[in-house]
Every structure is written in structure tokens, then in C-alpha cells.
Amino acid sequence: MQKIMVCIKRVVDYNVRVRVKPDASGVMLDGVKMSVNPFDEIALEEALRIKERGANIEVVAVSIGVADAQQQLRTALAMGADRAILVQTDAAVEPLTAAHAFLALAKKETPDLIFLGKQAIDDDANQTGQMLAAIWDRPQATYASKVEISAGKANVTREVDAGLETIEVDLPAVITVDLRLNEPRYVKLPDIMKAKKKPLEVTSLDALGVSAGVHLKVLKTEPPAQRQKGVIVKDVPELVAFLKQKGLI
Amino acid sequence: MHKILIVGEHDGKTLNPATAKCVTCATGIADAQISIALFGEDTSAVASQAAALSGVESVLRVDRPENAHPLAAILAPQLVALAADYTHVFGPSTSFGKDLMPRVAGLLGVAQVSDLMAVEGAYRYRRPIYAGNAIVTVESDPSRKLLATVRVASFQAAATGGNASIESKALNVALPTHTRYLGAKSGSTDRPDLQTASRVVSGGRALGSAENFKLLFSLADKLGAAVGASRAAVDAGYAPNEMQVGQTGKIISPEMYMAIGISGAIQHLTGIKDARTIVAINKDGEAPIFEVADVGLVGDLFQIMPELERLIGT
Ligand SMILES: Cc1cc2nc3c(=O)[nH]c(=O)nc-3n(C[C@H](O)[C@H](O)[C@H](O)COP(=O)(O)OP(=O)(O)OC[C@H]3O[C@@H](n4cnc5c(N)ncnc54)[C@H](O)[C@@H]3O)c2cc1C
Ligand SMILES: Cc1cc2nc3c(=O)[nH]c(=O)nc-3n(C[C@H](O)[C@H](O)[C@H](O)COP(=O)(O)OP(=O)(O)OC[C@H]3O[C@@H](n4cnc5c(N)ncnc54)[C@H](O)[C@@H]3O)c2cc1C
């Protein structure tokens, strides 16, 4: 194993309660706190742990997005990635486009493993890793909660609806990570200073030969139906009476 | 005419109810002709269950030893071959469908609509983003095949009483050998299944231990309910991962959801928004769970639960 690529997406911080614009044209993103997609932090942490266990592995953090996505890549560098690549674009990047951009990077970088989050918490698409694996013609191990690397292979335990499933994949492979794989480290101040000196290359979709096609047009963005506020009962007998009256018990 | 292929989910014996929900979703498209594809080692039993779903015209069986376990890398090229005659390919938004469908979309070079929650036209759908805090209406190009995962909590299961044709398909497709199934582990019980149960009792961090989670099981048994958990409870090891409800766990729509010692974080709420009645028990009257609850009781769960269990029995 020589190289691991990790996809880092800039998303609205998970603590922000996102609001829809009154004209239904999208969500309000002005001045909102942006962070690394939480799943991608877990993906990077896993790559770093593999690196720290083994010899000479390079961890490359890559992102597709606006110029400010450099902030999230700097966070990745501070966590311990060796270098970073930003595919800079202002376009709305659909998962298929993202997968093609990552494929172009994979062809250049020839990583043994590509880690992604299982989903990005903005669009919740849960697609990019699987699409990348498909067009790269390599195995995919999605929703990983345990990853064990041995010669040329990875054993991955996956969180599935029925419980846990274990598969073995040949490397190179794509792994998308779930929440319980690990707990990402905190970044310390000296690491942030050090990260400023690490290389961050900026490229473009054009340079990679990828066009930002629009397959899905978003016609409108609306708030979800609101639930009506209910009643507060004062004790258990009242609760039971409520449930009985509703025919629930 | 729209030809819709639905990937059936099953364990070799039983067709997962998610499949019947995908059928209902597909029947929302005008002029739809619906088929179900089944991959497995021997799909004879599940094929008859699929053929009985009302609205389905044909069931396509693809039986071969490599299909014994649903590995996306193995199934995807076969599904691509079957999809040639179809305008739409749908799968359930379960861990099976979410793993498989984007790989198929990637191979076909088409976009996917994830978590389709409402049909507005053959190429126009609604889906949630930002953990359900916004709903987008998306439109895809009718000249291209459309792939989607169906948010099963948004649809009722199709009725039975249908009589679809059943056909065995021999596909001449080379399968990769780079992905191998090793095994599975599930904490499965004889309790109702979380995703289809009409009642769910769910516990959070406040339960404090796996031992205390037994209080929940005991109440659930009394109600004939499935048991769920918040991420915090799963992370702490009080409950297994398959019990997690929420944005990154299961999205459910029971008649009654009882949240006990769960604060109501947005990531949790997105999993229960479609529940008919939400019951909240929490000692903090300001907990966000009360904003969505139909009925709430403020107090200590360790006092409330035994009393509740006692009174429910009477
Ligand atoms: C019609 C349309 C309009 C859009 N408009 C906007 C907009 O106005 N502003 C905007 O910011 N976005 C916009 N987007 C992009 C959208 O929010 C998602 O980024 C995109 O659809 C990918 O979905 P996802 O990130 O949920 O992918 P998922 O498949 O859920 O992502 C899984 C993983 O893939 C990796 N990944 C995915 N994308 C990237 C990336 N760009 N860089 C690094 N890693 C990545 C991450 O590891 C992530 O965890 C738009 C998309 C569409 C289709
Ligand atoms: C990317 C991402 C994805 C996530 N996905 C999910 C997901 O799918 N599902 C999910 O659930 N969470 C998810 N989360 C986590 C979520 O943000 C919350 O952290 C989590 O839901 C909190 O669980 P909780 O309500 O059990 O714990 P807490 O928030 O700690 O709440 C415990 C509650 O118990 C109450 N309480 C304490 N003691 C008692 C008592 N004796 N009697 C009664 N009440 C008591 C407290 O008042 C409090 O409200 C996700 C987070 C992220 C960042």
C-alpha cells in the first residue's frame, strides 16, 4: 500500500438548521458555518490510522467545490493528510460529475484505496462512492464500520439494515464510511500552523477533462410539511388515556 | 408508455416489504408497465410473492450461484443488462438499494434520484435534502434512463391479488471476482421488524446502559412494538447498529413512535417525521422532541416506564 485518496466535501455544518429561501430557489447559505462533511472526517481519520500503522503511505485529500473549499482541505492537512488537491468550480456538481472528477484524479494518482463518506449531509445523495467504483471498475465496500487491510486486500465490515456484513475486496478499492468506524481526532493549533506549509494544488474540471453536466434540474426547494405541535400531559394515567382514545393501545 | 423495472429485495425466502412499496411508487407514474427483477441462488419462493403484487406485469428471475448474496459489484452488471428494455429502474432506499443503484447508474452513465418521496410526473419527483429540512422538486431528462431509490417510508405497500408472469432470464454477463462475501451477523430477534412495525418504542442516551435498554424491550413486548434507538445510544453500545433511527439509520413511518430519553436532534427527527403519532418522554420540557410530538410527558423515564407498562396492561 502506497497511497490513499480521501474525498473531503465542504458542507453546511451539521449543527446549522438549514432554512429554505422564501422564493423556493434554494436554501439560505449566506454566512452559514461550513465544515468538512462529518463522514469525510471519519474517512480521513481511517486513512491516517492506516498510514500510522504502516510504512510510507501518502494520504491525499481531494475536494471539488468553490475556492473556499481550501479551508476544509487545510483542516484535512492539519489532521494529517500529506497534500491536497482542490478541483475548483462554482458549478453545482452532481454525484456523477464528482465521480468522474475523482476518477480522473485516481488515474493520475493511482491510489490503492479511495475513502469517501457514505453520504454528504447536504444533498444526502449517497451515490458518489458507488458511482466512482463503477466507472473505475473496482470493488466497493459501502457503509464501513471496520476496515482491515492485508496484502492486496481489505476486509470490510458493513453496517446494513439487518446488522453487520463482512466482505473481502481486492485493492484498489473504494470504501465509503459509516459513523461508527472511528472517532476523528481533534486538530491542535501547531498542526494548523504546520498545515499551512503543506502542498495544496488547485486544478479545474476542464483540466481534468470533465464537464459539469446537469442531469437533474432542481425546479424548486420548499420547506417540509410541519407537524402540528401536540399536547403535554401531566402524568402517566393521562398519557395512557390519550393513547387509548387514539386507539393506539 | 413507461417501462419500470424494480429490483426486488429478499433473503431467499421472503420478499422484503420495501419491494411492495416501490411498486406503489411506480404505479404513481401514468402508463406504467411494471416488472420486478429478482437476483438470487433460487428465487422461486420470492418470485411467487412478487408475482402476487397487484400492478406488476412480469417478474424476471436471475438465478445463479454468484447471486447468493446481494453484492452490488456482482449484481450491477446483470441489472444493467436487464435495464436495456426499461425507461426507469427503481430500487428501495434500504442498505441493499442504496449500495446497488448508484453503481448501476454509474455503469449506465445516468443520474440517480435518491430517496424519491413523491411522484409528480414520469420524470418529475420530490426528494428530501439536508436531513429533510428542505424538499426539492427535481426533473430529469426524459431521453435518458432514470434511476431512483424509493424512500419506502413515503409509500404504502401494494396490495396482493395480482397475477404477474414469471420468467427466468439467463444473462450472458461476465461477473467480477474482486468482491467476496464473507459472512453476516445480526442481532435479529422475534420482535417485529423496525422498518415495517406499526409501533416503535425507541430509546436514547438517557437509558444509560444496555441493561436499562431491557426496560424498553419489556415495554415494547407489551405493545407488540419494534425497538429503535438514537445514534447516541448505539454509539454508546446500548443497542446494536441496526436499531438506529434517523438520517443515517432507518427512516420509518409507524402508526406510533415512542421516543424515550431522546432529545430530538434534527438527524434523529428526519427518521420519524412520517410517524402518525409521536409520543415523547423526556425530563427536559425544552427538549426539541416536544416540538414534533403529538403527546409529551415531562419526567424521569425510570419512574414513568414501569408505571406505563403497568397501566398499558389494564
Ligand atoms: C441540480 C443541483 C443543484 C445543486 N446546487 C448546488 C448549489 O447551489 N450549491 C452547492 O454547493 N451544491 C449544489 N449541488 C450539489 C449537491 O449539493 C451535492 O453536492 C451533489 O449532488 C452531490 O451529492 P452528495 O454530496 O450528497 O453526494 P454523496 O454521494 O452523498 O457524497 C458521498 C461522498 O462523496 C464525496 N464527495 C461528494 N461530492 C464531493 C465533492 N464535491 N468534493 C469532495 N468530496 C465529495 C464525499 O466523500 C462524500 O461524503 C447541486 C446539485 C444538483 C444536482
Ligand atoms: C452526520 C450525523 C449523522 C447523524 N445521524 C443520526 C441518526 O441517524 N440518528 C440519530 O438518532 N442521531 C444521529 N446523529 C446524532 C444526533 O445529532 C444526536 O447527537 C443524537 O440523536 C442524540 O441522541 P439522544 O437524543 O439519545 O441523546 P441526547 O441528545 O444526549 O439526549 C438525551 C435526552 O434524554 C433526556 N434525559 C436524560 N435523562 C433522562 C431521564 N432520566 N428521563 C427522561 N429523559 C432523560 C435529556 O433531557 C435529553 O433530551 C447524527 C449526527 C451527525 C453529525
Whether A130 is in the pocket of ligand 1, judged by its Cβ within 6 Å, is: no
Mean pLDDT of chain A: 95
Specify the pLDDT at position B314.
60
- Contact call for B111 and A220, based on CB within 8 A: no
Q: Is A227 on the interface with B (CB under 8 A)?
A: yes
Q: Do domains B2-168 and B199-313 have the same CATH topology?
A: yes
Per-residue pLDDT, A54:
78
C-alpha cell at B230: 438514537
Q: How far apart are CA B264 and CA B271, in angstroms?
A: 10
Share of chain A above pLDDT 70, in %: 100
Just give the CATH number of B199-313: 3.40.50.1220
CA distance B15 to chain A (A): 14
Among candidates B251, B211, B253, which has minimal Cα distance to B233?
A: B211
pLDDT at residue number A144: 98
Return the pLDDT at B141: 93
Burial class (CB in 10 A: 0-12, 13-18, 19+), B24: buried
CB contact under 8 A, B109 and A231: no
Report the C-alpha gap between A66 and A223 in whole angstroms.
Answer: 26
Question: Candidates 3.40.50.620, 3.90.70.10, 3.30.70.1350, 3.30.70.120; correct CATH number of B2-168?
Answer: 3.40.50.620
Residue with cell 401514468: B30
Q: Is B183 on the interface with A (CB under 8 A)?
A: yes
Match 430529469 to its residue by C-alpha cell: B140
- Mean pLDDT over A147-162 rounds to 95
Atom of ligand 2 nearest to the CA of B232: 23
Distance from CA of B126 to the nearest CA of A (A): 9
Hey, are the CB atoms on B135 and A221 less than 8 Å from each other? yes
* Position A227 pLDDT exceeds 90: no
For the segment B156-173, what is each residue's pLDDT rounded down to a tens digit?
Answer: 999 999 999 999 999 999
Q: At what angle do helices B95-108 and A128-136 cross, to 10 degrees?
A: 50
In contact, B52 and B8? CB cutoff 8 Å: no
List, for residues B76-117, the tens digit of each pLDDT value.
999 999 999 999 999 999 999 999 999 999 999 999 999 999
Burial code of A150-188, b = ≥16 C-beta within 10 A, e = fewer?
Answer: eeebbbbbbbbbbbbbbbbbebbbbbbbbbbbbebeebe
Contacts of A187 (CB under 8 A, 6+ apart): A75, A78, A79
Three cell numbers, residue A72: 476544509
| Residues of B (16-35) whose Cβ lies below 8 Å from A | none
Is B178 an interface residue toward A (CB < 8 Å)?
yes
- Judge: A220–B199 Cβ closer than 8 Å, yes or no: no
- pLDDT (mean) for A197-217: 94
Residue A97 near chain B (CB below 8 Å): no
What is the predicted pLDDT for the residue at B64?
A: 96
Band the pLDDT of B131: cuts 50, 70, 90: confident
Interchain contact B189–A (C-beta under 8 A): no
Residue bearing the bigger pLDDT, A229 or A195 = A195
Domain layout of chain B by residue ranges: 2-168, 199-313
With a 6 Å cutoff on the Cβ, whether A90 touches ligand 1 is no
- B184: which 3 cell numbers? 453476516
CA of B249 to the centre of ligand 2 (A): 13
Question: Average of pLDDT values for B289-310?
Answer: 96
Burial class of residue A90 (count of CB atoms within 10 Å of its CB; 0-12, 13-18, 19+): exposed
The sheet with strand B56-63 has its strands ordered as B112-116, B146-150, B88-92, B2-7, B32-40, B56-63, B165-168
pLDDT at A48 over 80: yes
pTM for the whole structure: 0.92
Would the CB atoms of B188 and A217 count as touching at under 8 Å? no
Contact A224 B138 (CB under 8 A): no
How deeply is B233 buried, as exposed, middle or buried, from its count of CB atoms within 10 A (0-12, 13-18, 19+)? Answer: buried
To test the pocket of ligand 1, the residue of A25, A72, A122, A132 to mutate (highest count of ligand atoms within 8 Å of its CB) is A122
Residue B13 has pLDDT above 80, yes or no: yes
Say how many Å lie between the CA of residue B266 and the centre of ligand 2: 9
Q: What's the mean pLDDT in A99-114? A: 98
- Report the percent of chain B where pLDDT is more than 90: 93
Question: Domains plus CATH for chain A?
Answer: 3-245 (3.40.50.620)
Q: CB-CB: which of B106, B139, B179 is closest to A169?
A: B179
A87-98 tens-digit pLDDT: 999 998 999 999
Q: Mean pLDDT throughout A166-185?
A: 97
Q: Do B308 and A239 touch (CB under 8 A)?
A: yes
Is residue B188 predicted with pLDDT exceeding 70?
no
* Packing angle of the helix pair A128-136, B72-83 (nearest 10 deg): 80
Does A15 score more than 80 pLDDT? yes
Work out how many CB contacts closer than 8 A connect A with B: 249
Q: Please give the Cα distance from B233 to B213 (Å, whole number).
A: 9
Given A14, A179, A246, which is nearest B277 (Cβ)? A246
pLDDT at res. A123: 86
The closest alpha carbon to B92, from B81, B84, B103, B100, belongs to B100
Cα distances (angstroms) measured from residue A211 to each of A7, A100, B212: 19, 9, 54
Distance CA B186, CA A157 (A): 12
Q: Which residue of A has its CA nearest to B10?
A: A162
Residue A213 has pLDDT above 90, yes or no: no
**Chain B stretch 137-166, residues whose beta carbon is closer than 8 A to a beta carbon of chain A:** 137-141, 144
pLDDT at residue B170, as a whole number: 93
If you measure from the C-alpha of residue A30 to the centroid of ligand 1, how many angstroms do you get, rounded to a whole number? 18
pLDDT of the residue at B86: 98
A132 φψ region: left (φ > 0), alpha (ψ -120 to 50), beta (else): alpha
What pLDDT does A68 receive? Answer: 97
Torsion angles phi and psi, residue A108, rounded to 5: -75, -40
Element (H, E) at B167: strand B165-168
Residues with Cβ within 8 Å of A5's Cβ and at least 6 positions away in sequence, in order, are A60, A61, A62, A102, A105, A106, A109, A111, A113, A114, A115
B86 CA: distance to closest CA in chain A (Å): 18
By alpha-carbon position, which residue is closest to atom 45 of ligand 2?
Answer: B261
What integer pLDDT is reported at residue A124 of this predicted model? 86
Distance from CA of B193 to the nearest CA of A (A): 10
Residue, of A228 and B68, whose pLDDT is higher:
B68
| C-alpha dihedral sign at A4, A10, A11, A13 | positive
Cβ-defined contact of B99 to A233 (cutoff 8 Å): no
The whole-number pLDDT of residue B191 equals 81
Joined together, the cell numbers standing for residue A166 give 463482512
Element (H, E) at B59: strand B56-63
**pLDDT at res. A52:** 94
ipTM: 0.94
